[in-house]
Amino acid sequence: MPTVRVSVTLKPSLLDSAGRTVAGSLKHLGYEEVSDARIGKLITLQVETVDEARIREMCQKLLANPVIEDFSFEVVG
């Protein structure tokens, strides 16, 4: 059965406060090389058939909020 990996990320212009906290914690732990972190979602779907137009619809309707998030997807296996 095909697997679809959907990546959902906050739009670059928006502040990601959780990501900023993670970056701060990493620096605090001694990982000074980290200058920024952003946190998105990785949604893995098992689908019986792949129809890219329908997957795009699923992203726009439910998986992402297109006002504040960008999404991309790839079919694997």
The footprint of a second copy (CB under 8 A) covers 1, 7-9, 19, 22-23, 25-26, 29, 31, 33-49, 51, 54, 57-58, 61-63
To the nearest whole angstrom, how small is the minimum distance from the Cβ of residue 8 to a second copy? 8
Which of 72, 76, 54, 59 is CA-nearest to residue 2?
A: 76
Query: 75 and 1 in contact (C-beta within 8 Å)?
Result: no
Decide whether 48 or 67 has the Cβ nearer to a second copy: 48
> What is the three-class DSSP state of 55?
helix
To the nearest whole angstrom, how small is the minimum distance from the Cβ of residue 37 to a second copy? 5
